Amino acid sequence: MSIGKSVKRVDAFEKVTGRAQYTDDIPLNDVLVAKVLHSTIANGLVKGIDIKEASKLSGVVKIVTCFDVPDITFPTSGHPLSLDIHHADIADRKLLNRRVRYYGDDIAAVIAKDDVTASRALKLIKVEYEEYEPLMSIEASLEEGSRPIHDNFPDNILTHSNYQIGDYEEAIKEEGLITFEGEYITPMVKHCHMEAPISYAYAESGRMVVVTSTQIPHIIRRIVGQALGIGWGKVRIVKPYIGGGFGDKQDALYEPLNAYLSKSVGGRCVKLDITREESFVNTRVRHAMKIRIKSHVRPNGRFVAREIEVYSNKGAYASHGHSITSKAGNACKQIYNDEKAIKGDMYSVFTNMPVAGAMRAYGIPQITFALESHIDEIARGLNLDHIDIRKLNMMKPDFEDNGIKCHSYGLLKCIEEGKKYIDWDKKIEEYKNQTGLVRKGVGMAIFSYATGVYPILLETASCRIVLNQDGTVQLQMGATEIGQGADTIFSQMVAEVLDIPTRNVHIISNQDTDITPYDSGAYASRQSYVSGMAAKKAALVLKEKIIKHANFMLKLPVGNIDLKDNMVVNKENGDILASLEEVATHAFYNTEKSVHITADITNQCRSNTFSFGVCFADVEVDMAVGKIKVNRVINVHDCGKVLNPDLAAAQVHGGMSMSLGYGLSEQLLFNEKTGKPLNNNLLDYKLPTVMDTPHLEAQFVDTYDVSGPFGNKALGEPPAIPVAPAVRNAVYHATGVNFNTLPLTPQRLVERFIKENLI
Amino acid sequence: MSIGKSVKRVDAFEKVTGRAQYTDDIPLNDVLVAKVLHSTIANGLVKGIDIKEASKLSGVVKIVTCFDVPDITFPTSGHPLSLDIHHADIADRKLLNRRVRYYGDDIAAVIAKDDVTASRALKLIKVEYEEYEPLMSIEASLEEGSRPIHDNFPDNILTHSNYQIGDYEEAIKEEGLITFEGEYITPMVKHCHMEAPISYAYAESGRMVVVTSTQIPHIIRRIVGQALGIGWGKVRIVKPYIGGGFGDKQDALYEPLNAYLSKSVGGRCVKLDITREESFVNTRVRHAMKIRIKSHVRPNGRFVAREIEVYSNKGAYASHGHSITSKAGNACKQIYNDEKAIKGDMYSVFTNMPVAGAMRAYGIPQITFALESHIDEIARGLNLDHIDIRKLNMMKPDFEDNGIKCHSYGLLKCIEEGKKYIDWDKKIEEYKNQTGLVRKGVGMAIFSYATGVYPILLETASCRIVLNQDGTVQLQMGATEIGQGADTIFSQMVAEVLDIPTRNVHIISNQDTDITPYDSGAYASRQSYVSGMAAKKAALVLKEKIIKHANFMLKLPVGNIDLKDNMVVNKENGDILASLEEVATHAFYNTEKSVHITADITNQCRSNTFSFGVCFADVEVDMAVGKIKVNRVINVHDCGKVLNPDLAAAQVHGGMSMSLGYGLSEQLLFNEKTGKPLNNNLLDYKLPTVMDTPHLEAQFVDTYDVSGPFGNKALGEPPAIPVAPAVRNAVYHATGVNFNTLPLTPQRLVERFIKENLI
């Protein structure tokens, strides 16, 4: 039995010894280097580009500009293609763009023999612009008369989606309701994966190959095809090991441009490796959001009706914008339920800022910050217990919303475990009536998170397993290992079904769209659930075929055989009939009925389920300097069956760290007048280091989700959700000050404490 | 329709432009270089190896000797594993061998940082031998009291197989029979593929990867596993484009040693690229044979009974020896049938010479030289027409031998076409009564050749096809492209079944045993027949799945739909219902029933069929200098349906050139005393160049073989069979001298002409 054990990562040895090949490790012959010329204005039009001087530079092979590229607009977001044209992703950019929409927009590219030459050539290109006023905030973009960033979106609103459940106007008429209003603001932050997006592109047999650090090789294939206007079968994407993605690489980044660049030099191999500085602004960021909540509550804390407004800062291009904003808005009615009514309006607004796209937890960290801050304010306003008010309003078992069903429910248990670890009741008592400049507080936050994208979008995954002569198997997943441990989990799943050691499952980590079964890729915490089911089903098919062959080989009646501990056994009495190796070898080489036993299947997933979790934090606020010290912090998760405790804990640690940075220090900053990014580097952008990080406690409650392949549900993204609001609430508890804008930087704290006459 | 057309090679562009990556083109990081130390005696024992000096050399990483390697013997021949232990390949060598069996045997290896260091280190290794007398001929090995080369073969005979049909002793009692006897001797020759065997080996996730220039990646996987004593699933073989094999690479060559060398340096990447000089003696050669035929013939030329003795020079290790010798002996009773009886005895004899293994046409060039020389001698002896006597005795339609059946029969037509081209009757007349030192003659030879190895060995092949979103497909074959055009043929086959353009079939040329469907590989002219059937069946399965999905998509009753010209059409009236692309895209992305359409099947072949062919040659012999000029030469083949006329002609041209060299100039020579090779280089070994080659005429007769996937049968090897005997017979016709030893070198001719008082 493999599931539930802390099996060592299957890629541990390769990665620890440095043998694992990431894109930049792959040796190449005769490779050219490309560099992109970015606009130095945030809003405007390229009137002309003079490449004369640059072209003369020795070693420059080719320069292409926004005047050269095909007149094709394409979408970049990593969604499976929607056959329903109304759900199609927005095709709003070309490979290079004359219409400049953010500071750093791609307007030209140089292909040269080496890096230095390419960089020098960039500096020799002269650009003439027609410049417009940059729209550097949601408010600026929405202002009457603001210039449209995209012609076909005259009011700069990419999408406005909304919902209404119950009769809101009627509901709020109830007598005795208390109304709470709040506005919550979250920052634009960056994924900061270790490996910057990098790709090679070259032609092969009249087709285009792109080797790239992506979470979604099969989707990139389609988008490269769309962007170049060629058949998608003429594109081959190869994904080696990748150094993290966190959603940034759930978008087509520079793959389409690189394919075009290679094509423009006759299919020679072109490498496009962007810098950390480019990665900050030229890939994707997390949507900054402004969220307004108005709640109508009975004195006991029960939500009767709520009204939500979500404004998200889309940046310059659509990417995932519509879906993330919508997902955030919809989450309001999931984690908490109103007795009578709820309505939501979600706006995705273009600005002249970097493009917001997918980032771990896809809109839910933002909305959870708002909801969990808001409910604490209500609790304090009504003098209620912060946990009781949540229990009163939160999702109950068997809840269902829009096809997402609560098939398993560990939320209450999560809260109990978290309380215990943080010693909640004692601390609440202990931290009463503090004075002085250093005060302590506890806070908590809860959340729910769906697993995958059904029923909004297609959920499909494929898997192929091949039996080797020695009874080991090769496993090919379309799903991608992006550092999270997917390969290990899938190997465990197949080992579990076949009852063989996990080390006997040899997973092919790299995806190659020419031969790798189709899968949408790594996002939406879908892989262990959707792709895992494909792995399970393929293993079951393989098992059936093995047993069928064993029956043939052993001349036994059908139905009498099972696989156990690497052996073929009598199902009734457990007697060993043959080793799996003997049956496998026989299948390959017997002359009566030779067969290469494989399974190659698709799993279309038509279910979804909620994961849950809480964070509890115990903090100390040094008000004089605005410094928050996190003394204790715990995430407790209900992710269904924990497939691999060590890997699950590692996921949680990473997510907690990300959410701590989100809460305390991270924010991309811009010159408001020019739109120029101010801190797009790892020195000035305050990503927490290991020195900033307290002990991160990860715990799990034991549930089993019937809709998951092995009782499991989402865990990849959820850990990144609750820490920021829990810390914010702990600060609120410590100081009585409700910080509703993230991150809780010293400057922000000190200014507010002064304003509140606390220091 | 694709089959039967001269579709351009699918790898033409890559190969012509130099983009196709052969093993040595693959860029590698941090690679070590290995060189093998070869024995400088032909027969003996290594008593000691002193590596002290060599080890001190800076840059030497490791030296391993025959004293270090595991005590495992393994077989090398590229056969599918036989589960019947009696048919198992002979395991008779270790990775490095103390018991030296030929001049050049592998006794140690150096791993160094570079080529020069490795070569220098080799020279510093001191070896102490116990030396025995080399056995440099079949006769020497068979001599009473000769020292066994392998302890378990005390008489130096690897195998003695035999057959007897009819009662030979009774048959030869018939009155009036004339007896003809002849002894025919063929030389040891070399494949001379352009690319020498080369491999890289390295460890990956605890498994061993070997990238190698081989015809048989899946078999190499097994042999590396056997040689290293590890599970075969722990071995991964990757086969890039290869520069020819001709059977030499149907053996495990240095792959097992290289895997061991990599393992001995902790799995670092080791490159083992042998020189041309090594390739000549350290890989495989064609069996030199001595063939005795005794025929009992009626005056009209009818064979009543024959007796065949075949002695083949196996060299130092078993490799393919037993099967090739046996195949040669068995062919006697196939191309010609005796009215009453035939018996054959085939001996495979170890000598202290390079190892004989598979080479294009696998024993049949040798036996055909003997049979076709012999029958011409009978014709001349009985004053019969050389063609009539063949027609009288040769295989007739519906012939069957040992499970090989004549399913189609174009032999007579081949002879007619060849006669016509060479203007046979006129030349026979014209060349009568020649005198002088320059004489002309015509000669011909016929042959039959089985297709694949059924029923002697397992014939199995697998294929996977994957449908792309744009209606193109990916094609994965376990069968290997080795320069012969297999990839193009398989692509045509799949295109034919799906009725799409061949360019819409994207074949994955490289085999990777981790993911490539199982196939035994390129040998026995089996691939278009056995693997081709797998391609056809897989395409039919894919077609069925596509139609099934089209039915679902179009909501049409089953059975009404067909594929035509890249479209899905109404079967009855041909109306276009949708494009294949639309159906494919729908299959991927519809949310009702999403499926990644693939086909992954095994074809076990349980049939075999005879191919046929003839060669006619018109030569001019300058007797004073022993020079043979080939004025006209034609091969006419019956290979069933010609799948691609241009590629088929190319196969024939290559084979004819090979057979011309075999007949006229090629022979590996040795110092008889020391066993040292004398001409193991391309200067001294007389491979014909383009300057030596006349126009090679290739023609085909039109037959259709019902047992083949598209009416086709063997063509890969047959062209290499008949030219040497046809030329020999033409020389016989011109001069009246029967040269029964190949090659027909000037020295051999002049000596004989002097002896015969002709000059």
* Among B10, B232, B589, beta carbon nearest to A205: B10
For residue B600, list chain A residues with Cβ-Cβ distance below 8 A: 464, 598, 600
For chain B, the straight-line distance linking the first and the last C-alpha, in angstroms and rounded, comes to 59
Q: What are the residues facing B446 on neighbouring strands?
A: B614
Give dist(CA B443, CA B376) in Å, integer: 9
- Among candidates A11, A25, A596 on the partner chain, residue whose Cβ is nearest the Cβ of B602: A596
Whether the Cβ atoms of residue A634 and residue A415 lie closer than 8 Å to each other:
no
Interval B702-713 mean pLDDT: 97
Residue A691 burial (CB < 10 Å; 0-12/13-18/19+)? exposed
Q: Which residue of B has its CA nearest to A456?
A: B591
Q: Residue A683: which H helix or E strand, with range?
A: none
pLDDT band at A442 (very low <50, low <70, confident <90, very high): very high
pLDDT band, residue A542 (cuts 50/70/90): very high
Query: Tokens 């696998």 sit at which residue?
Result: B362
Say if the Cβ atoms of B233 and A469 lie within 8 Å. Answer: yes
**CA of A581: which chain B residue's CA is closest?**
B231
Q: What residues in A contact B235, CB-CB < 8 Å?
A: none
User: Residue B71 burial (CB < 10 Å; 0-12/13-18/19+)?
Assistant: exposed
Task: Name the 3-class secondary structure at A63.
Answer: strand
Beta strand pairing call for B270-273 and A697-700: unpaired
Tell me which amino acid residue A250 is.
Q
Whether omega before A743 lies within 30 degrees of 0, making that bond cis, reads yes
Backbone angles phi, psi at B25, to 5 degrees: -85, -15
CA distance A668 to A677: 7
Q: Verify whether the Cβ–Cβ distance A11 to B593 is below 8 Å.
A: no
Which amino acid is located at A202 in the chain? Y
| Neighbour-count burial of A71, counting CB atoms closer than 10 A to its CB (0-12 exposed, 13-18 middle, 19+ buried) | exposed
Query: Which residue carries 């392998």 as its tokens?
Result: B150
The minimal CB distance from B468 to the residues A25, A232, A588 is found for A232
Interface contact B506-A14, CB threshold 8 A: no
Among A265, A204, A355, A361, smallest CA distance to A64 is for A265
> Which residue in the set A81, A503, A600 is minimally distant from B600, CB to CB?
A600
E strand map for A298-413:
303-315, 341-350, 400-401, 404-405
What is the C-alpha to C-alpha distance for residues A632 and A619, in angstroms, rounded to an integer?
7
Res. B643 pLDDT band, cuts 50 70 90: very high
CATH class of B460-604: alpha beta
Check residue A86 and give its pLDDT: 79
The full set of domain ranges for chain A reads 31-133+197-273, 135-187+284-394, 406-451+609-759, 455-604
Tens of pLDDT, residue by residue over B165-188, are 999 999 999 999 999 999 999 999
Reported as type and span, the H/E element at residue A572 is none
Any idea which architecture A31-133+197-273 has in CATH? Alpha-Beta Complex (3.90)
Give yes or no for residue B101 having a pLDDT over 80. yes
CB contact under 8 A, A80 and B234: no
Mutation for testing the B interface, residue in A500, A594, A597, A607 having most B CBs under 10 Å: A594
Asked whether the predicted pLDDT for residue A721 surpasses 90, the reply is yes
B628-637: average pLDDT: 98
CATH number given to B288-454+607-755: 3.30.365.10
Question: A709 Cβ partners below 8 Å, 6+ apart?
Answer: A493, A528, A529, A532, A533, A535, A536
Do B14 and A83 lie within an 8 Å CB cutoff?
no
Assess whether pLDDT exceeds 90 at residue B558. no
DSSP letter assigned to residue B531: I
Residue A87 in this model has a pLDDT that exceeds 90: no
- The CATH code that applies to domain B31-132+197-273 is 3.90.1170.50
Q: Residue B559: what pLDDT?
A: 82
Q: Are A568 and A578 in contact (CB under 8 A)?
A: yes
**How confident is the model over B378-390, as a mean pLDDT?**
98
User: What local confidence, expressed as pLDDT, does residue B740 receive?
Assistant: 98
CATH of segment(s) A455-604? 3.30.365.10
- Closest-CA residue of A relative to B9 is A205
Among B507, B518, B526, pick the best mutation site for testing chain A contact (most A Cβ within 10 A).
Answer: B518
Please tell me the predicted confidence (pLDDT) of residue B85.
81
pLDDT at A741: 98
Nearest to B394 by CA among B608, B642, B185, B614: B614
Estimate the share of chain A in helix, then strand, then coil, as percent rounded to the nearest 5: 30, 30, 40
Q: Is A596 in Cβ contact with B460 (below 8 Å)?
A: yes
Judged by phi (left if over 0) then psi (alpha if -120 to 50, else beta), residue B577 lies in alpha
Check A19 against B204: CB less than 8 A apart.
yes
Residues in chain B with CB shorter than 8 Å from the CB of A586 are 83
Of A81, A591, A607, which to mutate for an interface test with B (greatest number of B Cβ within 10 Å)? Answer: A591
User: Predicted confidence band at B496 (pLDDT cuts at 50, 70, 90)?
Assistant: very high
Beta carbons of A598 and B233 less than 8 Å apart? no
Report the distance separating Cα B390 and Cα B444, nearest Å.
10
Average pLDDT on B743-759 reads 97
pLDDT for A648 equals 98
Position of tokens 């550097």?
Answer: A136
Closest to A251 in 3D by CA, of A521, A42, A483: A521
Q: Do A231 and B204 touch (CB under 8 A)?
A: no
Question: Which helix (H) or strand (E) segment is B709 a member of?
Answer: none
d(CA B535, CA B477): 8
How much is the pLDDT for B274?
A: 97
CB within 8 Å: B596 and A504: no
Residue in B204, B588, B602 closest to A594 by CB: B602
Residue count (chain B): 759
Rounded alpha-carbon distances, angstroms, from residue A597 to A542, B521, B531, B698: 7, 18, 17, 41
- State whether B81 and A600 contact (CB < 8 Å): no
The encoded tokens of residue A530 equal 């959707």
Question: With pLDDT > 90 as the criterion, what percentage of chain B qualifies?
Answer: 97
Q: Is A233–B473 a contact, with Cβ atoms under 8 angstroms apart?
A: yes
Smallest CA–CA separation between B28 and chain A, in Å? 6
Residues 6+ apart with CB under 8 A from A84: none
| Radius of gyration of chain B from its Cα atoms, rounded to whole angstroms | 27
Nearest neighbour of A470 by CB, restricted to B29, B231, B472? B231
Q: What is the pLDDT of residue A118?
A: 98
Rounded average pLDDT over A72-76? 97
Q: B418-439, pLDDT tens digit by residue?
A: 999 999 999 999 999 899 999 9
So what's the pLDDT on residue B383? Answer: 97
Give the pLDDT confidence of A463-496 residue by residue, as tens digits. 999 999 999 999 999 999 999 999 999 999 999 9
pLDDT for the residue numbered A97: 98
CATH number 3.30.365.10 is the correct assignment for the domain at A135-187+284-394: yes
Smallest CA–CA distance, residue B578 to chain A, in Å, is 15
* Contact (CB<8Å) B81/A234: no
Asked if the Cβ–Cβ distance from A514 to B503 is below 8 Å, we say: no
Q: Does the pLDDT at position B155 exceed 80?
A: yes
pLDDT at B321 over 80: no
Q: What pLDDT score does B685 carry?
A: 98
pLDDT of residue A707: 97
- Residue in A closest to B581 by C-alpha: A231
Show Cβ contacts of residue A699 under 8 Å, excluding neighbours closer than 6 positions: A417, A418, A421, A634, A635, A636, A637
Strands A561-564 and B106-112 turn out to be: unpaired
Give residue B87's pLDDT band: very low, low, confident or very high (50, 70, 90).
Answer: confident
Q: In whole angstroms, what is the distance from residue B399 CA to residue B124 CA? A: 61
Which DSSP string corresponds to B456-511?
TS--EEEEEEEE-TTS-EEEEESS--SSSSHHHHHHHHHHHHHT--GGGEEEE-SE
Q: How far is CA A223 from CA A89, A226, A356, B631, in A?
A: 11, 5, 18, 60
C-beta atoms surrounding A689 within 10 Å? 10
The pLDDT of B265-290, averaged and rounded, is: 98
Q: What are phi and psi of B168, to 5 degrees?
A: -60, -45
Distance from CA of A70 to the nearest CA of B (A): 20
Q: What is the pLDDT of residue A605?
A: 97
Question: Rounded to a whole number, what is the distance in Å from the CA of B537 to chain A's nearest CA?
Answer: 14
Q: What are the residues whose beta carbons fall under 8 Å from the beta carbon of A573, sequence distance 6 or more?
A: none
Rounded to an integer, what distance in angstroms lies between the CA atom of residue B68 and that of residue B72?
11
Q: State which H helix or E strand residue A136 sits in.
A: none
Q: Name the β-bridge partners of B270.
A: B32, B201
- Crossing angle between the packed helical segments A386-393 and A411-422, to the nearest 10 degrees: 170
ipTM above 0.90, yes or no: yes
Contacts of A549 in chain B (CB under 8 A): none
Identify the residue among B28, B211, B591 best suited for mutation to test binding to A, counting A beta carbons within 10 A and taking the highest: B591
- Dmax over CA atoms of chain A, in Å, equals 90
Q: Which of A469, A468, A488 is nearest to A477 (CA)?
A: A488
A31-133+197-273 shares its CATH topology with A135-187+284-394: no
Nearest residue to B174 via CA among B320, B312, B305: B305
Helices (H) and strands (E) in chain A, counts: 19, 29
- Cross-chain residue pair A83–B586, CB shorter than 8 Å: yes
Give the pLDDT score at A322.
80
For residue range A548-595, list pLDDT tens digits in order.
999 999 998 878 899 999 999 999 999 999 999 999 999 999 999 999
Contacts of A473 in chain B (CB under 8 A): 233
In chain B, which residue's Cα lies nearest the Cα of A12? B205
Q: Which CATH architecture has domain A406-451+609-759?
A: 2-Layer Sandwich (3.30)
Query: Nearest CB to B596: which of A13, A462, A590?
Result: A462
| Summary mean pLDDT of chain B | 97
C-alpha to C-alpha distance for B120 and B112, rounded to whole angstroms:
10
Indicate the burial class of A562 (C-beta count within 10 angstroms; 0-12, 13-18, 19 or more). Answer: middle
Task: Please give the torsion angle defined by the CA atoms of residues A435, A440, A442 and A443, in that order, rounded to the nearest 10 degrees.
Answer: 80
**CB-count burial class (<10 Å; 0-12, 13-18, 19+) for A203:** buried
Residues in CB range of A107: below 8 A, 6 or more apart: A37, A38, A39, A46, A49, A65, A66, A96, A97, A98, A100, A127
Amino acid at A158: L
Q: Which residue of B has its CA nearest to A601?
A: B596
Mutation pick from A596, A606, A607 vs chain B, by most beta carbons of B within 10 Å, is: A596
Reported as a single tens digit per residue, the pLDDT across B230-242 is: 999 999 999 999 9
Considering only the beta carbons, identify the residue of A457, A458, A515 that sits closest to B476.
A515
Chain A residue numbers with beta carbons less than 8 Å from the beta carbon of B474 are 233, 514-515
**Are residues B234 and A472, on separate chains, in Cβ contact within 8 Å?**
yes
Residue tagged 């052993």 (tokens): A554
Mean pLDDT of A414-441: 96
What is the C-alpha to C-alpha distance for residues A302 and A756, in angstroms, rounded to an integer?
Answer: 30
